[in-house]
Amino acid sequence: MTDTWLDRWNERYSSDEFAYGIHPNNYLKVQLEKLNPKNILFPAEGEGRNAVFAAKLGWKVAAFDISEEGKNKALQLAKDNNVQIDYQVGELETLDFHTEQFSCIALIYAHFPADIKSSIHKMLNQYLLEGGIIIFEAFSKNHLDYVLKNEKVGGPKDIDSLFSIEEIKSDFENYEILELEETEIELNEGLFHNGTGSVIRFVGKKK
């Protein structure tokens, strides 16, 4: 990833305020509460709101991001909530996760650069147990129309960084689809996710 990409996220997470708040994403919350807590991985976890929530439910949590600033905020949030998370900084291929380590992987607004997003999804597959669950929520390609009306809703402004149902089916082709839809939602997450947006939601079980 480029230095510009890294600088963007370090700058966003350097503020005292939490860019996307300290509360978990609503879709993640609903899905996690259906599952028995085991081992979970949060890619592109930023300031840790979702990882800390999972830890409070009893999950053994691992997370990663390219931003050292994000890690610092996440570890402080974990400390404030009396939980522990294993948070690594770096790009996925440089980290020391191992094959079939996790029973769940949660991709919550994990908008990787367009040229690598599908390869990261496919790389993550090796770290999930057979029968493991993917939980995914991120902005759809139709979200661009919403950003034009209200920049405060957030999200990438280039269509290739956004998602379609077809892309998710392709990236996670060896999964039983438990839920897959494009839907309009209202976001109220910290400073940068506020307003009406369009998202892809996906829950899949690895075959």
Distance of CA 25 to the CA centre of its chain: 9
Residue 3 has pLDDT above 90, yes or no: no
Q: List the domain range (segments joined by +) for residue 35.
A: 3-206
Quote the tokens at residue 58: 């009893």
Could you give the C-alpha distances from 25 to 130, 136, 189, in angstroms and in order?
Answer: 25, 11, 8
Distance between CA atoms of 79 and 204, rounded to whole angstroms?
31
Q: Where are the beta strands (DSSP E) in 17-155?
A: 39-42, 60-65, 86-89, 102-108, 128-139
Distance of CA 56 to the CA centre of its chain: 18
**β-pairing, 60-65 with 128-139?**
unpaired
- List, in sequence order, every residue forming a beta bridge with 137; answer none if it has no partner: 108, 201
Residue 2 has pLDDT above 80, yes or no: no
Largest CA distance in the chain: 43
Confidence of residue 173 (pLDDT cuts 50, 70, 90): very high
pLDDT single digits (tens) 112-170? 999 999 999 999 999 999 999 999 999 999 999 999 999 999 999 999 999 999 999 99
What's phi and psi for 11, nearest 5 deg? -65, -45
CATH assignment at residue 47: 3.40.50.150
- Are residues 136 and 109 in contact, defined by beta-carbon separation less than 8 angstroms? no
Overall domain count for the chain: 1
Quote the tokens at residue 90: 């770096």
